[in-house]
Amino acid sequence: MTESGLTRALLSSLRDAILEMDERGSLLWANPTAELLLSGGVPPAGLSLASFAARPEEGAELLADLACAGSGELGCSLELMGAKGQPFPCDLLVFREEGWRHFLAVIRPHSGEGESSAHLAEQILDLTHRLAAVQKTVNDLSLELIDKTVQLAEERNKTEAVLASMGEGLVVVEPSGRISQINSAACRILDTTPELAVGKSLGEPSLGAKLNALADSLRAFSESRALTDTPMDRLTVQEKVIELSLASIQDREGGAESVGTVVNVRDITRRAEIDRMKEELISVVSHELRAPLANVIGYIDLLLNEAAAVLSKEHLDFVAVARKNAERLIHLVDEMLDLSRLDAGAVRMDIQRVDMAGMIDYALTSFRAVAESRRLTITRRIEGEVAAAADVERLQQVLHNLISNAVKYSRDGGEVVIACRREGREVVITVADNGIGIRPEDQARLFQRFFRVRGGETRSIKGTGLGLSIAKSIVDSMSGRLTVTSEYGKGSAFSVILPAWRE
């Protein structure tokens, strides 16, 4: 009965000496008061209560009464031997409620003041009620625990059903490299079964080549310092092309320590073949376009150098326009090539630590001259030492595009602000201007290919409508986000949000 921690805590707090014993009188437990009274603080468990009787006949009579007792109360007066070997007279009340396996006994030494047995019985009754209340609380908590266990089992079954029905493969790997979970789609893609995979560590020969191919990607992920998901990784194993994305599982307590990695697995063999054919087509077409355009520019330069003296100013202007348009066509071809490669996943991101102060300073060098000619103020605001996890060249391309747009769409005498700060696990780079702004209906289409804002103030500004689309594709490939806020007539702010570099 007193196995409950709550019950024993209650009995231990009482000043009365309380024992628990079975039908044979063997002591099972004693509260601290009883231990001090009978054995000087040593637990008397295992001894018989009769062995503490000063007169053997009283002990034998007590054992006989216990053997015949059921539920209810049993009281007597007798002498017990104390911890110092001295007998002391006391009242002993033994009782057991319905459903109890054992007896509780309360020892009340005589105080010499004629304390009534009625008062003792009253205290025992109060103790019985308190024990019954504790027992009810324990039972209620047990029922609640059972309900919670059933709910957790139902949620687990639902989760397992969802994972099993997913078309995308999922593998959960512990920090040690041990596989703790794998769903049906991942088993199909990686040619394995849950029985073969779960509980094994990556690298074991029995897992097979496809599953073990994840090990290198996991190792690179754990060695990288990015705090969020990694860009897609692509593996080719036994003529199958597998695309992976990895995400760290963080401690529920909010700690920075990873408790595992989730690997999403997709079979993209067919898509990879289509991308390869598309890339070959684009390569051929772009070569057929770019090479003639380069020749045109070469001949125009030759004409300007060799025949400039015999051409009129009007003719020279015509030739200059032709050269400028040829350069625009080459730029358009290059941008289309960039987009196609990004779509096909052919652009590999070399994620490394990027010092944002140096990156922004380098990007601004290209715009100092045009800013001075148009009386633009370019302000740089960097909060502390900020490092992002990104591809250096591609991030430079994104910043160049955003700063170029801010300069182009600013009014003469305006201001462009490039700000950078760290927010938790992310780095936020914002390029803002106080130029003409963007109408709300145009903002939703800004990142569409070939879309350009049309209006009186933008008609003279040249562009292909591909720059922002390329910038967004690059940022997405680096596990980042590109956002815009704008108020028409007051300016725009473009923000690049990237994973922070974990030192």
Query: What CATH number is associated with residue 214?
Result: 3.30.450.20
Residues 381, 419 contacting (CB under 8 angstroms): yes
Same domain, 118 and 230: no
The pLDDT assigned to 492 comes to 92
Same domain, 364 and 323: no
Whole-Å CA distances, 289 to 181, 286, 339? 51, 5, 16
Confirm whether 57 is domain-assigned. yes
Same domain, 276 and 253: no
Same domain, 334 and 388: no
Same domain, 461 and 444: yes
Confirm whether 152 is domain-assigned. no
Whole-Å CA distances, 454 to 175, 444, 460? 53, 14, 10
Confirm whether 439 is domain-assigned. yes
Amino acid at 384: G
Residues 231, 352 contacting (CB under 8 angstroms): no
Model pTM score: 0.45
The pLDDT assigned to 361 comes to 92
Please spell the DSSP secondary structure of 439-482, one letter per residue: -HHHHTTTTSTT----STTTTT----S-HHHHHHHHHHHTT-EE
The pLDDT assigned to 223 comes to 63
Confirm whether 14 is domain-assigned. yes
Residue 418 tokens read as 């490039």
Final residue of a structural domain among 343, 369, 394: 343
Same domain, 105 and 121: yes
Confirm whether 155 is domain-assigned. no
Same domain, 136 and 201: no
Confirm whether 34 is domain-assigned. yes
Query: By residue range, what is the domain housing residue 290?
Result: 272-343
Burial of 2 (0-12, 13-18, 19+ CB in 10 A): buried
Q: What's the CATH code of the domain at 320?
A: 1.10.287
Q: Going residue by residue through the chain, which has 503 residues, state the pLDDT in tens, using 9 for 90 and above.
A: 544 555 676 677 667 788 888 888 888 888 888 888 888 878 787 888 888 888 888 888 888 888 887 766 777 888 888 877 888 888 888 877 676 778 888 888 876 544 455 555 565 566 666 666 766 776 777 778 787 877 777 776 666 666 666 668 888 888 888 888 888 888 888 888 888 888 888 888 888 887 778 877 777 776 664 444 455 677 777 778 888 888 877 766 555 567 788 888 888 888 878 777 877 776 677 677 777 888 888 888 888 888 777 878 888 888 888 888 888 788 777 777 777 777 666 677 889 999 999 999 998 988 888 888 889 999 999 988 999 999 999 999 999 989 998 998 888 888 999 999 999 899 999 999 998 888 888 887 888 777 777 665 555 566 667 788 888 989 988 989 999 999 888 899 999 999 999 86
Give the phi and the psi of residue 226 in degrees, each rounded to 5: -65, 140
Same domain, 247 and 315: no
Give how many domains the chain has, as a whole number.
Answer: 4
The pLDDT assigned to 475 comes to 92
Burial of 427 (0-12, 13-18, 19+ CB in 10 A): buried
Same domain, 188 and 201: yes
Using left for φ > 0, alpha for ψ between -120 and 50, and beta otherwise, residue 254 falls in left
Alpha-carbon torsion (50, 55, 60, 63), positive or negative = negative
Inter-helix orientation angle 313-343/269-306, to 10°: 170
The pLDDT assigned to 152 comes to 76
List of residues 6+ apart from 226 with CB closer than 8 A: 351, 389, 479, 499, 500, 501, 502
DSSP helix/strand/coil, 161: helix
Q: How far is CA 272 from the centre of its chain?
A: 30
Same domain, 19 and 102: yes
Confirm whether 135 is domain-assigned. yes
The pLDDT assigned to 2 comes to 47
Confirm whether 153 is domain-assigned. no
Paired strand residues for 233: 244
Same domain, 365 and 483: yes
Q: What is the DSSP letter of 48?
A: B
Same domain, 213 and 230: yes
